[in-house]
């Protein structure tokens, strides 16, 4: 096994060519990535993509089939979860129903043999930090969803770990509470300065809180990057489709003239300006994206040219609207416009419009 | 009136209730009434009120021996059966292995075996290993018969447990033993207590197998048969009433524990 990069003090976790199989089923394909000390990392993907398995391997609840996992410089393959300090906040919260709030928070200290008095003191510090000290002697069943969430956090953080693992912790909360808890988590992570690894299927959760996001699909890491990078520069069509904010156009590279590439699509040829060192040959299939807010709408009769498409629907999104078009070959195109702009166009569904964009608005996907 | 009531279902349920009371509780009530009746033979009209039969069994050393044997056996059986039942239920909860269904079927089999066959088989086996005719023989036989009851009760409780709870405890630094002690057992505590009471009640009442294997260490139900064979005495009614009371109290305790486990567990 070749180490793909060295472990530095900035790296708290390293996945090195990790593979996880359950029988014949490959839950996580060969994966290598680093988690930086003190960062808020979100692992995002739809259900069954391997994100929870990845987290459980880090927690020591699953052992990798192949490859190595390093935690704080130490190889932890085969090290039991109770010998690691990788507390997890569970989707179900998994609070102990037969213990009081304070006993729940004290649990991991008790398991580590901390004396009764010190346990109580340390637990109360965290109950206070999470603003649930007044519920210390209550039963779990007497708490609201948000309060339980705070107990789960206090219970996981009471040992003051270097890393906290969170497995879709907010999925059971209603939308309003979810936003509030996101703020709590975000601030907590900044205050404590410890590493958070946060598994979620929700783009808004991942993108609003995380410093970096890993996008996974079918056991594979599709892209790692900051939310900005991933949003504006998705690596491939999967990520672009998964985020759902941009329109994807597939074509063939027909001409390379410096940084002006010509891509032939079903709608004609487009000039794009690829970023970075893309090694592509003419004749290769290539895709580019144009985000919904960068597309112009004009009357089909105007001389603008572009794609002629029929307006098929409109979705109200606060100050703006997302309008949906269908092209002659059946592709759906999304455009975001303000209500004001739509009114100026006399916009109506069922009518044909011309859609255009600047070549600078096109982003060439490095992988198709 | 509630219109969602089907008169046929309503009537059948009432009939069922009446039948239960008539055929289960009336005979017991009858026996209880006769136990406080001064007449030598159970006949209507009743004679005077009397606690004579209770006084007689109170003074009968054989009844006391039988009673102590029953209690001794019942307590030990309850403990053994509950431990075995917990082991079986936890194995079922925790592990997946080849042949698990066979394992479960075998573990839950004993109550389906006719007691006479069970008693005979137990006698044949225990006498061969020189364990028949002692109190310990009854304990072994009853332990086998009662543990499936305990297992069923504890399995039910474990099936209500959040599957993440055990892993959460490991994740918080609890080893497997510590987790068993601090999470699994506390979570199962109401079911464990219920299993103790029910297995004790089953052992208290069990007659056939005890009759085969008890030898001279007769339990109370075996003693009752002895009385019946010798002489018909209203003392049987008195013993029966006490045995019924003790069993029903154990069952009621168990029911209360199983009904609202969250309230009883702190």
Name the band, by pLDDT with cuts 50, 70 and 90, for residue A334: very high
Binary contact (B189, A91; C-beta < 8 A):
no
* Distance separating alpha carbons of residues A255 and A93, to the nearest angstrom: 56
pLDDT of residue B263: 46
Give me the mean pLDDT over the A226-239 stretch: 91
Query: Which of A129-138, A143-152, A177-186, B239-248 is least confident?
Result: B239-248
Q: Which of A85, A97, A108 sits opposite B262 (nearest CB)?
A: A97
Helices B185-205 & B235-259 angle (0-180, nearest 10): 160
pLDDT of residue B216: 67
Binary contact (B173, A90; C-beta < 8 A):
no
pLDDT of residue A50: 92
Which one is the CATH code of A11-232: 3.40.1260.10, 3.40.50.300, 3.40.50.11260, 3.40.718.10? 3.40.50.300
Kindly identify which residue of chain A lies nearest to residue B266, measuring between CA atoms: A98
What's the complex ipTM?
A: 0.84
Name the band, by pLDDT with cuts 50, 70 and 90, for residue A132: very high
Binary contact (A94, B182; C-beta < 8 A):
no
pLDDT digits (tens, 9 = 90+) for B127-172: 888 877 778 888 898 999 999 999 999 999 999 999 899 999 999 9
pLDDT digits (tens, 9 = 90+) for B247-266: 888 888 888 887 755 544 43
pLDDT of residue B61: 81
Mutate to test the interface with A, among B157, B173, B180 (most CBs of A within 10 A): B173
pLDDT of residue A36: 94
pLDDT of residue A2: 42
Q: Which of B174, B183, B189 sits opposite A82 (nearest CB)?
A: B174
Give me the mean pLDDT over the A13-40 stretch: 93
Binary contact (B174, A111; C-beta < 8 A):
yes
- CATH for A237-364? 2.40.50.100
Q: What residues in B contact A141, CB-CB < 8 Å? A: 262
pLDDT of residue B237: 82
pLDDT of residue B260: 58
Q: Which of B165, B167, B178 sits opposite A111 (nearest CB)?
A: B178
Binary contact (B175, A82; C-beta < 8 A):
yes
Q: What residues in B contact A126, CB-CB < 8 Å? A: none
pTM here is: 0.81
Q: Is the pLDDT of residue A6 over 70?
A: no
Mutate to test the interface with A, among B170, B171, B183 (most CBs of A within 10 A): B171
Q: What residues in B contact A148, CB-CB < 8 Å? A: none
Where do the structural domains in chain A lie, given as residue ranges?
Answer: 11-232, 237-364
Binary contact (B189, A61; C-beta < 8 A):
no
Kindly identify which residue of chain B lies nearest to residue A152, measuring between CA atoms: B168
Check residues B235 and A135 and name the one with the higher pLDDT: A135
Domains A11-232 and A237-364 share a fold: no
pLDDT digits (tens, 9 = 90+) for B111-124: 888 888 888 888 88
* Distance separating alpha carbons of residues B186 and B180, to the nearest angstrom: 9
- Shortest distance between the Cα of A213 and any Cα of chain B, in A, equals 24
Check residues B232 and B98 and name the one with the higher pLDDT: B98
Name the band, by pLDDT with cuts 50, 70 and 90, for residue B29: confident
Where do the structural domains in chain B lie, given as residue ranges?
Answer: 60-265
H helix intervals, chain B: 7-20, 26-35, 52-59, 61-94, 100-107, 115-128, 135-159, 164-171, 176-179, 185-205, 208-213, 220-230, 235-259, 261-264
Name the band, by pLDDT with cuts 50, 70 and 90, for residue B2: low
Count chain A–chain B contacts defined by CB atoms under 8 A.
Answer: 72
Name the band, by pLDDT with cuts 50, 70 and 90, for residue A8: low
Q: Is the pLDDT of residue B60 over 90?
A: no
Query: Which of A3-17, A189-203, A329-343 is least confident?
Result: A3-17
Tokens of B73: 């056996």
- Shortest distance between the Cα of A242 and any Cα of chain B, in A, equals 29
- CATH for B60-265? 1.10.3720.10
């Amino acid at each position: 096994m070749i180490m793909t990069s060295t472990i530095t003090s900035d790296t708290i976790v390293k996945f090195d060519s990790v593979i996880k199989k359950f029988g014949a089923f490959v839950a996580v394909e060969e994966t290598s990535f680093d988690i930086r000390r003190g960062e808020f990392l979100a692992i995002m993907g739809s259900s069954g993509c391997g994100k929870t398995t990845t987290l459980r391997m880090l927690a020591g609840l699953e052992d990798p089939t192949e490859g190595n996992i390093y935690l704080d410089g130490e190889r932890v393959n085969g090290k039991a979860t109770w010998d690691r300090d990788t507390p997890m906040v569970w989707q179900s919260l998994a609070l102990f129903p037969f213990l009081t709030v304070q006993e729940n928070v004290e649990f991991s200290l008790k398991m580590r043999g901390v004396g009764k008095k010190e346990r109580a003191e340390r637990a109360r510090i965290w109950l206070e930090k999470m603003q649930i000290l007044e519920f210390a002697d209550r039963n779990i069943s007497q708490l609201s969803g948000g309060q339980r969430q705070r107990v789960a956090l206090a219970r996981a953080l009471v040992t003051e770990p270097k890393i906290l693992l969170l497995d879709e912790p907010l999925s059971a909360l209603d939308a309003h509470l979810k936003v509030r808890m996101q703020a709590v988590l975000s601030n907590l992570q900044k205050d404590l300065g410890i590493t958070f690894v946060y598994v979620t299927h929700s783009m808004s959760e991942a993108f609003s809180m995380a410093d970096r996001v890993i996008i996974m699909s079918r056991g594979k890491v599709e892209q790692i990057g900051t939310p900005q990078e991933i949003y504006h520069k998705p690596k491939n069509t999967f990520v672009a489709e998964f985020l759902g904010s941009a329109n994807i156009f597939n074509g063939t590279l027909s001409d390379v003239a410096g940084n002006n590439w010509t891509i032939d699509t079903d709608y004609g040829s487009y000039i794009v300006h690829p970023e970075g060192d893309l090694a592509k040959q003419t004749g290769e299939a290539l895709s580019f994206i144009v985000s919904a807010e960068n597309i112009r709408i004009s009357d089909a009769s105007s001389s603008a040219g572009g794609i002629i498409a029929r307006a098929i629907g409109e979705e109200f999104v606060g100050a703006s609207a997302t309008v949906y078009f269908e092209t002659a070959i059946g592709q759906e195109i999304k455009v975001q416009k303000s209500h004001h702009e739509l009114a100026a166009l006399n916009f109506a569904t069922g009518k044909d419009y011309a859609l255009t964009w600047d070549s600078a608005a096109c982003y060439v996907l490095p992988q198709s | 009136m509630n219109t969602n009531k089907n008169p046929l279902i309503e009537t059948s349920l009432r009939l069922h209730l009446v039948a239960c009371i008539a055929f289960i509780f009336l005979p017991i009530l009858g026996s209880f009434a006769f136990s406080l009746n001064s007449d030598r033979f159970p006949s209507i009209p009743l004679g005077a009120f009397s606690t004579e039969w209770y006084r007689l069994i109170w003074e009968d050393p054989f009844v006391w021996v039988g009673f102590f044997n029953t209690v001794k056996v019942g307590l030990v059986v309850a403990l053994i059966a509950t431990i075995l039942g917990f082991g079986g239920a936890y194995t079922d909860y925790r592990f997946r292995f080849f042949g698990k269904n066979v394992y479960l079927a075998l573990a839950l089999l004993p109550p389906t075996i006719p007691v006479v066959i069970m008693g005979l088989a137990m006698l044949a086996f225990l006498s061969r290993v020189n364990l028949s005719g002692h109190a310990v023989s009854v304990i072994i036989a009853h332990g086998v018969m009662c543990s499936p009851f305990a297992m069923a009760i504890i399995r039910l409780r474990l099936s209500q447990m959040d599957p993440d709870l055990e892993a959460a405890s490991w994740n918080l630094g609890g080893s497997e033993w510590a987790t068993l002690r601090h999470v699994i057992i506390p979570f199962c505590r109401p079911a464990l207590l219920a299993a103790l009471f029910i297995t004790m009640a089953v052992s208290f009442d069990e007659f056939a197998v005890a009759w085969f294997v008890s030898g001279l260490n007769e339990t109370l139900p075996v003693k009752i048969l002895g009385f019946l064979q010798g002489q018909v005495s209203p003392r049987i009614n008195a013993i029966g009433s006490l045995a019924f009371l003790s069993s029903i109290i154990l069952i009621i305790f168990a029911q209360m524990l199983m009904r609202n486990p969250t309230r009883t567990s702190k």
